[in-house]
Structure 1
Amino acid sequence: MSWILTNSAQAFDLLNPQASKVITTDLAHALSNVCRFNGHCARHYSVAQHSILVADIIALQGGTAEEQLAGLLHDGTEAYISDLTRPLKLLLLEAARQRESVWLGLVEQYASDSGIRNVVSIRAAALRILNTAEAEGVSLLLDVYQQLEQRIWRVICERFDLDPTLPASVKRADMIALATERRDLLPAHPAEWECLQGHPPLERYISKLPMDVVRQQFHDRLLQLLATTHRSRLAA
């Protein structure tokens, strides 16, 4: 079984996702229920509210309706698969690198003990067997997750006629939103987040909103942006 049952009773296949199964109400419902930061925030703060904030920031910075739509949907895959926190992704990468190092050490030791001269060739062959991505040791779990995530993202883009490559404006707005969320929703901590360098938080503070209100706001914004972007394409 590789499918999940969505709120609108769609059987959404994670291995073979279909654009026709991407339903606007499913996105709004699921994303308004999924909490950011694995729930470690001062109150329930959903991916949907984060996405609305990203779209708002893009609009404040003069971004187009197309860019705002991309910002609103940039975390849409989380409606179907849970996100992996950034520290977990880094730990998986480090674990894979360490595993690769151990295996290569064993291969080289075997070659040395056996009197085999061409250690370099054996090492290169071992790298192929270990199935690393550009010899960086990406773990199998992370690789599978990223493949599923990209597959689902592509069908979301197909459904809403979006370019799968996110604009730079979305990435900037995402970091500004994160800086604002850290200030408003997470406990104070002296550690510096390198990814937030050059991205100050907004002057305004994040409002506390009920899930049903956020769900409706997300859905309304999605339909409004779809109408705007479709009209602009037809006029082009």
Structure 2
Amino acid sequence: MIAVNFAVGPRMMLHSGVWFDFLDPASSAFVIEDIAYGLSHICRYAGQCSAFYSVAEHSLLVSEVAHGHEYSALMHDAAEAFIGDVTRPLKQLLPDFKRIEAVVEAAIFERFDVPTPMPKEIKRADLCVLAAEQAQIMPPETSLWAREEGIVPAPVTVRYLSPRAARTAFLKRFEELRPQSRHSAGTRSARVA
């Protein structure tokens, strides 16, 4: 069996064993564990940081900083679990990627009751965490933009969580924050393998 095929649309097998259809993500039976698994195994900055640092850990930090919007902040990069973390400079060259990302994001946000549009406070928290991350795990010149833009680095510490620890922490935070209206939607047992 191959892990990618084109039977319906371009599809990919997820960790849970379900197919994810890029042309119709809403019809895919993905669960929160698929998101946590994917985000915890993707390194930010295309791996060009001082040690492995996952998108899941980044999402946890943004959730800590985005007071009043913790749940949305935790889920703000959830689409990257299926499409990867494309660096901002490269993403500017890929207009079709942005369209695909928006469709995947919409399916995730609908499934997990993430309010849309994202509040501007989340973007601000994301930028503050970005500035803190870059000061801690990237070469010194990387975070100069933050001072020029008046972005104050968030008071967070990158812990370089392992994929297993990041996945566990992400799922725990999700359970603490998720809306109760669809309490069991899109989740299996919270057991982490």
Kindly name which structure, 1 or 2, has the bigger radius of gyration based on alpha carbons: 1
Structure 1 position 76 matched with structure 2 position 78: yes
Which of these residues, 106, 115, 123, is aligned with residue 171 of structure 1?
123
TM-aligned CA deviation for residue 171 of structure 1 = 0.5
- Structure 2 CA distance for aligned equivalents of residues 196 and 28 of structure 1: 34
Are 2:46 and 1:44 aligned? no
Task: Give yes or no for contact 2:72–2:114 (8 Å, CA) kept in 1.
Answer: yes
- Contact 1:6–1:26 (CA<8 Å) still a contact in 2? yes
Mapping for residues 82-161 of structure 1, pairs under 5 Å: 82-90=84-92, 92=93, 142-161=94-113
Q: Is the 8 A contact 1:175 1:195 kept in 2?
A: no
Question: Secondary structure at 2:116's aligned position in 1?
Answer: coil
Asked whether the equivalents of residues 20 and 159 of structure 1 are also in contact (C-alpha less than 8 Å), the reply is: no
Distance in structure 1 (CA, Å) of the matches to 2:63 and 2:142: 29
Structure holding more helix per residue: 1
1:190 Cα deviation after fit: 7.0
Instruction: Structure 1: state its 5+ residue gaps.
Output: 93-141, 232-236
State the partner residue of 2:180: 230
Question: Hey, what's the Cα distance between the residues in 2 that align with 1:195 and 1:149?
Answer: 29
**SS at the partner of 2:25?**
coil
In structure 1, distance between residues paired with 2:142 and 2:76: 29
The separation in 2 between residues aligned to 1:194 and 1:88, in whole angstroms, is: 20
Deviation of 1:195 after TM superposition, in Å, equals 8.9
The residue type paired with residue 230 of structure 1 is Q
Q: Is the 8 A contact 1:19 1:156 kept in 2?
A: no
After TM superposition, which residue ranges in structure 1, 4 or more long, deviate above 4 angstroms?
A: none
- Decide whether aligned partners of structure 1 residues 57 and 191 sit closer, same or farther in structure 2, where only a CA change above 3 A counts: closer
Using the size of structure 2 for normalisation, the TM-score is 0.82
Q: What residue in structure 2 maps to residue 212 of structure 1?
A: 164
How many angstroms does 1:196 deviate by?
6.8
3-state secondary structure, aligned to 2:20: strand
CA separation of 1:149/1:14 partners in 2, compared to 1, >3 Å: closer, same or farther? same
2:61 counterpart of 1:53:
yes
**Aligned residue identity for 2:87:** T
TM-superposed deviation, 1:71: 0.5
Q: Describe the shift of the 1:195–1:154 C-alpha distance in structure 2 as closer, same or farther (beyond 3 A).
A: farther
The number of equivalent residue pairs is: 173
Give, in whole Å, the separation in 2 of the partners of 1:47 and 1:23: 17
Distance 1:18 1:195, change over 3 A: farther
Structure-2 separation of matches of 1:70 and 1:26? 17
1:7-32, Cα deviation, whole Å (9 max, x unpaired): 00010000111266231111111100
SS in 2 for 1:208: coil
Aligned letter for 2:166?
V
User: In the alignment, what sits opposite 1:18?
Assistant: 26
How much identity, in percent, do the aligned residues show? Answer: 35
Name the aligned partner's letter for residue 155 of structure 1. Answer: A
Distance 1:230 1:166, change over 3 A: same
TM-score, length basis structure 1: 0.68
